[in-house]
Amino acid sequence: MTDQIDLAPLGRETPYPSHYDPTLLFPIKRQQVIPSNIAVIGWDFWRGYELSWLQRNGLPSVGLIKITVPCDSEFMTESKSLKLYLNSFNQEKFSDVEQLTACIQNDVSIAVGATVAVSMVMPEHFKSEYIDEPNDSGHLVEINIDQSQRNFNIYSPDASLLRCDTKQPFITESVFSRLLKSNCPVTNQPDWASVHIHYSGHPIDHEALLAYIVSFRQHQGFHEKCVETIFADLMRVCQPERLSVYARYTRRGGLDINPWRATPGCTPPTLMRSAQQ
């Protein structure tokens, strides 16, 4: 396996596979972004919308695949390689969906160097994949921080923009922004996301946090690394007692990627789709 991104299929004209091929998966070695003295849990949650295979009688089936990769895996999977890999099943026959799921789980686990979780949503259950948007009522209120009168002119990640009021007592709150944008480090195509931050600590200035999120606008970085940078910067500058950072990226190439990083003990986010995905 290699971590040389210049050898990946991303950004290249690549023929679609005509048969099942697990070697299409291209691992990328994870880079350490979060300091080793900060305990972190989390995962990268992928949805694959382009998955079809043949039943034993040759009739095609379709499904929505969900793959959860632990954040401490040695490797990530390059997104276009996963797209090509999933399309390599188009003419392959399987006796049942369980056989296909087990095959994908084994292949991706080998590629990333860790055991991944894989599940399939079949068409009869598509109605359960409804849209989940933040709300301002109920047991968990998420505050939209996307309004501001300040001037914005920094479009490269800048942790010095962050502010918290250390004179105020600890609070617990959840905030979100739909304005996270970064660019693919290989193709420079835009990546769009909503980012959801839950923390317990001194109050974080919402306008300052928004300015920090907007500062990623011209940054080139993979989804996972962007989320880890946000997590690490918030931990370093604001020093919350608990922190959870979750980004829900708009799908591209039939895949959406949703990285989550948190301090131990935080509740994992729900895995339902946003309207932008």
- pLDDT digit string, tens, across residues 120-129: 999 999 998 8
CATH code for residues 142-262? 3.30.1130.10
pTM: 0.93
Number of residues in the chain: 277
Compute the distance between CA of residue 30 and CA of residue 52 in angstroms, rounded to an integer. 30
Is 142-262 in the same CATH topology as 5-126? yes
Q: Among residues 107, 191, 233, 256, which one is catalytic?
A: 191
Q: Which tens digit of pLDDT belongs to each residue from 248-260? A: 999 999 999 999 9
Q: Please list, in sequence order, all residues whose beta carbon lies within 8 angstroms of the beta carbon of residue 43, skipping any fewer than 6 positions away.
A: 68, 69, 70, 71, 259, 260, 268
Active site residue 184: yes
Domain coordinates of the chain in residue numbers? 5-126, 142-262
Residue 253 tokens read as: 């190439």
> Could you read off the pLDDT of 187-228 as tens digits, one per residue?
999 999 999 999 999 999 999 999 999 999 999 999 999 999
Is residue 164 part of the annotated active site? The answer reads no
CATH 3.40.50.2300 fits 5-126, yes or no: no
Active-site entry in 21, 103, 146, 184? 184
- Cβ(162)–Cβ(212) below 8 Å: yes
Handedness of CA 52, 79, 249, 240 (dihedral sign): positive
Instruction: Specify the pLDDT at position 4.
Output: 61
